[in-house]
Structure 1
Amino acid sequence: MKLNKQVSKDYRDNLKRRALNGDIKAKKQLEKNKYNRYKSSAKSFILTKIKYEDINPFRDYLSERVKELRMKKSKKL
C-alpha cells in the first residue's frame, strides 16, 4: 500500500513540475484533477447533509440557485 501512495505522490509531483515548466497537457490535467477534487468534496458534503440533517431548506436553496443559473445562461445566449 505504501508503494502505491508513493507512486501517486511522485506522479502528482511530476505533474506539478511539468506544469510549472510550461507543459500544456500537464496544466490541463492539473485543472481536471482540481475540478474532480472539488466535485467529489461537494458530493460528500451534500450526502452528509442528506444523512444528518433536514434537507428541505437546502433543496429549496439549490432549486433557486439552478433557476438563477439557467436565467443567467439564457441571457448570455
Structure 2
Amino acid sequence: MPMSGNASNTRYIVRAATDETALAHFLDSIQSDPAIRVVDTIGPAAGPPHTVVVETDPATAERLRQRTLNQLMIEPDRPLSLF
C-alpha cells in the first residue's frame, strides 16, 4: 500500500548507472515496500522508463543507495533553474 504524503519524505531521481535492466529490477523490488512511492516514470512511450521519481524518507533512500551501489544513481530531486 503506498504511503500517504509525509513532511519528512523527499523526492528522489533514480536511474540506471550502466545496466538498463537494473532500473526494471529496482521497480519490481519496491512494489511491495510501503516506505517508497513511485511518483513518476520518465521514458519513451513504447519502451521501459529510463528514470523514475520516487518519494521516500532520507533513511530509506540511503538504504536503497547502499543496496544498489554501482547499479543505480539515486539523488534528491531538486528544482531546475536557469540561473
Task: Tell whether the structures are fold-level matches, with TM greater than 0.5.
Answer: no
Greater strand proportion: 2
Greater helix proportion: 1
TM-score, normalising length: structure 2 = 0.23
Question: Which one has the largest radius of gyration?
Answer: 1
TM-score, normalising length: structure 1 = 0.24
- Which structure would you say has the larger RCO, counting Cα contacts within 8 Å and 6 or more residues apart? 2
